[in-house]
Structure 1
Amino acid sequence: MTIETGRPGIDGLGDVVRLLGEWQREGEPVQLHPGDLGWFWRFGPGRTAAATLTWSRAGQVVAAGLLDGADLLRLAFAPGAAQDEELARRVAGDVSEPARGVLPEGRAYVESPPGALVRDLLLKDGWAADDPWTVLGRDLGAPVPDPGVHVEAVGPEQAPEWAAVIRASFDGSTFTEERWHAMAAGVPYAGARCLLARDDQGAAVAAVAVWSAGAGRPGLIEPMGVHRDHRGRGHGRAITVAAARALREAGSSSVLVCCPSSNAGAVATYRSAGLERLTERHDVSRHPS
């Protein structure tokens, strides 16, 4: 049957979030997570809908993607669909031909789960492996220790502080209180929580958002940041431990996070919080000469 490419629109985003949650499986390759849409929702439902794509067969969605920026498509596949040749060829064609309106001409990137056939097809078509990312995770079957610092759940009252820590954690960040409210109003946030860590003086020093895919499924950290004025004091480790505790309370089977392998400090922070390095992965990229 023919594969159809579509966009769900604002009204269909809830169905995509639900499917992405159902597609998260322990022991399976890490792929686009409901939390990725949840974090993108900071730009509002309209932009999120415009950035979301689906691929369907006979009316059933078998793959979904998020345009995380104009030139990066992040993918997820229904169980058993990552090696579907008809689907892989349709997705590869969509991302390779700018006229189809998925990725623009020139430099572009595709993130797909390891082992997905679409990756092999793109590499054969001249795309190349890009810079490595490290995937880290921690099983949540056993209790998680206390983080050792004051950590509080963030609501509207703490939103300005949470936003300020995120801005102070990432160079060039434009995150605002308004974007926190937009994110918190999104469908994926029903299974999410934002946390804020404070030091002994009460200053907000670290922030994290955690996203559930449902009970018994892997949860996601996105983002985690430590205020640039408070680094080197263990706050990153503490807020990551708190994130794991929050996901365990939500019923998640494990906690996952991805970060550039070149960010050795972030990798070390996650490992200090009990996350193990699971694998290293590469997006594929097109770099026209």
Structure 2
Amino acid sequence: MTIALGTPTVDGVREAMAALREWQDDGAPMQLHPGDIGWHHRFGAAGTAQVIRTWSRDGRIVAVGMLDAPRLLRMTVAPDAFEDEDVARRLVEDLSLPERGVLPEGAVSVEAPLGLLLHDLLSEEEWGVDAPWTPLFRDLTEPVQDSGLRIEPIGRDQAQDFADVLRSAFDTSRPTSEYRHAMSAAPFSADARCLGAYDDQGDVAAVVTVWSAGPGRPGLVEPMGVHANHRGRGYGRAITLAGAAALREMGSSSARVCTPSANAGAVATYRAAGFGVRKEVRDRVRVG
């Protein structure tokens, strides 16, 4: 059967999100999560629809991708299609041919879960690998301990605090107060919890946003950040624990996150919050 590549409408994003929710499983490798698309809604519904790609066979979505940047596609495949040769070969074609509208010419990257036949075929096409990332997982069967610090929801009124912490944490000027406002207005905002950890002076020291994929499925931490002025004081661990607790309250079976392996501080923070390390993953890269 023919496999069709598509870019959904704003309403069609819901179908892609539904497929991603269905594919989340505690036993699955780190993969694109509906929360990744939810977080992208900080750029608005139309802007999010423009970066989504779907591959469908006989009317059923078998793969979903999101252009996290013009030259970076993050994607995953339906569990029963991980080793499907037809799907893998179609993906390789679409990723390799700029006229298909997925990736441009030149250097590009693809993030895909371990275990896909796609990786073998990309290797045959001489795609390389990039720097390693560390996936981390925490089981949420048991209650999550309270850090003892003040944790509060970050709503629209605290939008600037949210942006300021992320700017400092990631040393970037991109986050703005509009991020939080856009997330609040997004159709998937009910899947998210945005929390802040406060210091003794009442300032927000760290923030986290967590995303549910539905009861009994793994949730996602995206993003978590600590203001540079508050590093090394336990706020990262505290806000991560709070995020995990929020996911458990929403019915998530586990929490997952992925961070560059070179960011030893982030890996240590998640481990301190009870996350276990899984096998490193690497993006696939085509140079030039």
Aligning the two structures, in what range does the TM-score lie when normalised by the shorter sequence?
over 0.9
Cα distance in 1 for residues equivalent to 2:184 and 2:123:
38
State whether structure 2 residue 25 is matched by structure 1 residue 11: no
Question: Residue type of the partner of 1:57?
Answer: R
- For structure 2, the 5+ residue unaligned runs are none
Cα distance in 2 for residues equivalent to 1:175 and 1:93:
35
State whether structure 2 residue 201 is matched by structure 1 residue 201: yes
**Do the aligned residues in 2 keep the contact of 1:17 with 1:187 (CA within 8 Å)?**
no
Instruction: Give, in angstroms, the shift of residue 188 of structure 1.
Output: 2.7
Match of 1:77 in 2: 77
Cα distance in 1 for residues equivalent to 2:181 and 2:5:
31
Match of 1:255 in 2: 255
Match of 1:160 in 2: 160
Cα distance in 1 for residues equivalent to 2:239 and 2:166:
13
Q: How does 1:10-29 map to 2 (within 5 A)?
A: 10-29=10-29
Instruction: Give, in angstroms, the shift of residue 187 of structure 1.
Output: 2.6
Question: Residue type of the partner of 1:114?
Answer: L
Cα distance in 2 for residues equivalent to 1:189 and 1:123:
38
Offset from partner CA, 1:50-92 (integer Å, 9 cap, x none): 1000000011111100011000111121121111111111111
Cα distance in 1 for residues equivalent to 2:187 and 2:16:
10
Q: How does 1:168-183 map to 2 (within 5 A)?
A: 168-183=168-183
Match of 1:48 in 2: 48
Q: TM-score scaled to structure 1, two decimals?
A: 0.98
Question: Residue type of the partner of 1:152?
Answer: E
Cα distance in 2 for residues equivalent to 1:278 and 1:140:
16
Cα distance in 1 for residues equivalent to 2:272 and 2:156:
31
Number of aligned residue pairs: 288
Match of 1:279 in 2: 279
RMSD over equivalenced CA pairs, Å: 0.9
Instruction: Give, in angstroms, the shift of residue 118 of structure 1.
Output: 1.1
Q: How does 1:130-279 map to 2 (within 5 A)?
A: 130-279=130-279
Cα distance in 1 for residues equivalent to 2:182 and 2:123:
37
SS at match of 1:103: coil
Question: Residue type of the partner of 2:264?
Answer: A
Offset from partner CA, 1:168-192 (integer Å, 9 cap, x none): 2111241111121112222332211
- For structure 1, the 5+ residue unaligned runs are none
Cα distance in 1 for residues equivalent to 2:173 and 2:106:
25
**Do the aligned residues in 1 keep the contact of 2:156 with 2:184 (CA within 8 Å)?**
no
Match of 2:129 in 1: 129
Instruction: Give, in angstroms, the shift of residue 203 of structure 1.
Output: 1.1
Question: Residue type of the partner of 1:240?
Answer: T
- The structure 1 segments of at least 4 consecutive aligned residues displaced by more than 6 Å after TM superposition are none
**Do the aligned residues in 2 keep the contact of 1:34 with 1:188 (CA within 8 Å)?**
no
SS at match of 1:158: helix
Instruction: Give, in angstroms, the shift of residue 48 of structure 1.
Output: 0.6
Question: Residue type of the partner of 2:151?
Answer: V
Question: Residue type of the partner of 1:60?
Answer: R
